Amino acid sequence: MRSPNEIDFWRGFALLTIFFNHIPGLYFERFTYRNISLSDSAELFVFLAGWALRKLVDGPAAGLSAGLLVLRIEGRALNVYIAQTVITEIAIALLAASSLFFDAPFLLDWHNASAVFADPVRAHIGLVLLTHQLGYFNILPLYVVLMFAAPLVALTQRLGSWLLLAISFAIYLFVLVFGVNLPTWPVEGTWFFNPFSWQVIYVLGFVLAGEDGLGALARRHRKLLRLLAIPVILLGGAAAMTGFSPDPIAVPAPKLLFMFDKTFLSPARLIHSLALTALFAGSFAMISLWLPRPSIFLSMLGRNSLNVFCAASLLSLAGQIFRFVYGGRVATDAIIVILGVSIMGLVAWASEWRERTRAASANESRSPSSSAIAPS
């Protein structure tokens, strides 16, 4: 397994934050950074996904042909898609079981789930097509789309980083100007995380992770970027703490350029997220020195991000139901947090234990002694 590192640490941090933020009203949620920030862990999670793709493309997959690279990335995308469909079905079952057990039929209406029970045929087609998404289970569909599109990102990068950035920003601006988004079905609406907008932070993570081009330029001017980031972060913090948001009626057209819209990842959120990245990039060395055990724990979560994310999504829904049944007091919220974080850690540990067992079995089967005793 990889040693604790900055990317896994921040990915683990994002996962933990998402778990807290996906339980509305949780007492400890008020201590997450979105309360003092214009952007939140969703931007961080997608940025790091792009970063991880670049490390894969420049690392283990560097020598692959275009065809093999596409197959490898699409295989990962298929895993994410399967994970999304499985946890969504488990979430639906959890809501249905809770509705029956607690005699609370309104639970069937939680988080956009009512269509699954009122119109199951069309809703399940929508679930498979990702056009029907439950609330709090809608970031993986974005990730699925980005992963399926990842070969285009990786292959365009081979033609030039600036070409990739130009295409990405052109799509981003077009979407902001014309308000383009994917529709949902059978419930009429649009995607909560617009893939056409969010691709830009994914691509930025990909490009900035490179050892050359924009990534190298950013690292050479890291001190300057940190200084520039501070006022942006302070302004974002002030907006978050005061609840300020531009009035849609007051801002000029195209309005999405000036709003703090999360669905379209408006420029203010994007810039604020990049400022946070600039300020905290490289801080892992100090954090791991002062907080070694939390650093190791968060890095373990980050190394197993897909499994931990799936667990965290279901745990957050379970936490919401727990609060509904037992009330939202500090004591019950503490139980939710302790159990939730412990289970997330257990899922990460079990994932790594399984990988170690597989590796040990593979090494044993390849060893000369094993060959000597194997039946002919």
Distance, in Å, from the CA atom of 64 to the CA atom of 72, rounded to the nearest integer, reads 9
Split at pLDDT 50, 70, 90, the class of 45 is very high
- pLDDT exceeds 80 at position 13: yes
Q: How far is CA 65 from CA 70, 71, 77, 151, 154, in A?
A: 9, 10, 18, 12, 12
**Which tens digits make up the pLDDT trace of 151-177?**
999 999 988 889 999 999 999 999 999
Closest by alpha carbon to 185, among 115, 85, 84? 115
**Which tens digits make up the pLDDT trace of 217-257?**
999 999 999 999 999 999 999 999 999 999 999 999 999 99
Cα torsion for 266, 270, 272, 274, to the nearest 10°? -170
Distance, in Å, from the CA atom of 51 to the CA atom of 71, rounded to the nearest integer, reads 19
pTM of the model: 0.93
